[in-house]
Amino acid sequence: MDSAEFRRAAHQMVEYIIEYMENIKNRQVLPSIEPGYIRTLLPGEAPENPEKWENILGDIERVIMPGVTHWHSPHFHAYYPTGNSWPSLLADMLSDAIGCIGFTWMASPACTELETLMMDWLGKLLDLPKCFLSEESEGVGGGVIQTTASEATLVCMLAAKTKTIQKYRALEPQWKESEILERLIVYGSDQAHSSVERAALLAGVKYRSLQSNREYSLEGNAVKQAIKKDRDEGLIPFFVIVTLGTTPSCAFDKLDEIGSVCEEEEIWIHVDAAYAGSAFICPEYRHHLNGINLADSFNFNPHKWLMVHFDCSALWLKNSKDLVDAFNIDPVYLRHDKQSKTLDYRHWQIPLGRRFRSLKLWFVLRIYGAEGLRKHIRKQCNLAKAFSDLVHSDDRFEIPVQSQLGLVCFRLKGDNELSKELLKRINERKKIHLVPSVLRGIYVIRFAVCSRLTEIEHVEFAWNEIRECV
Ligand code: PLP
């Protein structure tokens, strides 16, 4: 393909994408194919001879679309949202064209510098304490874009682990590293995302899941008691995950309480606000961040709810040196003569390679402005409220946990089996898509406002569909 052919193909692709997004509501949100379908449609080997672009374009509808779950359909209400917008798409096109691998400042200065600045812009929009901002903390704190919230948790846990091992090597010189390692323990609530326990597995440390309160929120006392008990048994607590906006029900852990406990105990607090973090650009939701000054790291996914495409997971650290010290391997071929004057993001993450992801933030923040993004968040929260009003209007249903932001957890009154059967029927009809969660034995159906294209008529459509399935 040469540039003239690319121009023609790119125009066709853009037209295809526009048509896809404009008519996505008419597509069946869940696919009807069976596992293995793609092997029935495509050859088992790569083509020996070049093919025409037109054939590939034609195969998108024939081969790919039948197997796509349409996450951006206004009828998609499963999981949590994933971002999508025209400016973000444009930025990813440019990022792919530049195609740099910005592991050091020298490997592409714009990639590093725009990221540092965008993380400051975003941090200021959330009103994060100055210690998390690169400019305000003179580079001690700062932000980095990770691939996912799971990776952000793992990176911070590994940094905290290294820091703790170093501390205990100095405190207890008679202990071998393996003796320190087997004592290390981290905590999260019983509502924390599965990626937290997985990070502990990958880090090779013990994990204790702590009971949340009646509102599914983890309290300072539960953390305090667990730490005391574990210390009495000779363990070394070193890391606590605070979830703001849990996956099952969007509950908020008590960051301020847990913060005070961990400050006293010198334990790293990592805040996982993967979904809810976007809402903190609105002052009315920022109270959930009370105590953020006590956290060591804070993460949320603009790629979930801020109209930025996957992948863009924003992580801030109070002391970036903790990461750099933990992951600093310095081969000659990666060094450059400006490294004392700038930062190299390769030390802040697990992989070496990294895409030019900050372009997405830059384009989106400029096209919508902070006010446009707040409008988006507020609109989606209002749509969730409209859905919960509909549920309340039908006394066969109940909402057993307080609805938060764009999520409503509802169920049919009575036995769990009734709601399980209902959800099965809903998803079998494939007109809308919802997923369940289980809250201390109570089976609920999660209704999340996901697509930026969702309007009140789609919420009403979903509600009618749900009632037809009862
Ligand atoms: N943490 C929470 C609270 C989540 O809700 C999710 C996903 O929905 C994750 C972490 C995982 O996010 P990621 O896919 O970015 O790892």
The per-residue pLDDT for 334 is 83
Domains and CATH numbers, the chain: 1-30+69-82+377-470 (3.90.1150.10), 34-68 (1.20.1340.10), 100-355 (3.40.640.10)
The per-residue pLDDT for 81 is 97
Ligand 1 atom, smallest distance to 192 CA = 3
The per-residue pLDDT for 342 is 85
CA distance 282 to 127: 10
To test the ligand 1 pocket, which listed residue (299, 301, 305, 308) has its Cβ within 8 A of the most ligand atoms? Answer: 301
> For residue 144, what is the DSSP state?
E
The per-residue pLDDT for 422 is 98
Ligand 1 atom, smallest distance to 311 CA = 15
To test the ligand 1 pocket, which listed residue (147, 150, 270) has its Cβ within 8 A of the most ligand atoms? Answer: 150
The per-residue pLDDT for 330 is 79
Burial 192-203 (b: 16+ CB within 10 A, else e): bbebbbebbeeb
The per-residue pLDDT for 136 is 87
List residues near ligand 1 (CB under 6 A).
Answer: 80, 148-150, 193, 195, 243, 245-247, 272, 274-275, 301, 313
The per-residue pLDDT for 365 is 98
Q: What is the 3-state secondary structure (H, E, C) of 416-465?
A: HHHHHHHHHHHHHHCCCECEEEEECCEEEEEEECCCCCCCHHHHHHHHHH
Long-range contacts of 127-133 (CB under 8 A, 24+ apart): 127/280, 127/283, 127/286, 127/289, 128/289, 128/292, 128/298, 128/316, 129/292, 129/293, 131/293, 131/318, 132/298, 132/316, 132/317, 132/318, 133/316
Active site residues: 193
Q: Residue 301: which of 279, 275, 271 has the closest Cα?
A: 275
Centre of ligand 1 to C-alpha 11, Å, is 35
Centre of ligand 1 to C-alpha 315, Å, is 13
The per-residue pLDDT for 229 is 97
Centre of ligand 1 to C-alpha 160, Å, is 20
* The two three-digit tokens of residue 151, written as one number: 């990776």
Contact criterion met (CB below 8 Å) for 402 and 413: no
CA distance 21 to 33: 21
> For the chain, what's the residue count?
470
Q: Tell me the CA distances in angstroms from 425 to 26, 90, 154, one per residue in order.
A: 20, 38, 38
- For ligand 1, atom 12, the nearest C-alpha belongs to 149
- Which parts of the chain have pLDDT scores under 70? none
Q: Give the contacts of 118 (CB within 8 A, at least 6 positions apart).
A: 143, 145, 358, 361, 362, 365
Angle, CA of 8, 9 and 13, to the nearest 5° = 120
Give the type of residue at 134: S
pTM for this predicted structure? 0.96
Centre of ligand 1 to C-alpha 270, Å, is 14
The per-residue pLDDT for 219 is 98
DSSP string over 277-298: GGGGGSGGGGGGGTTGGG-SEE
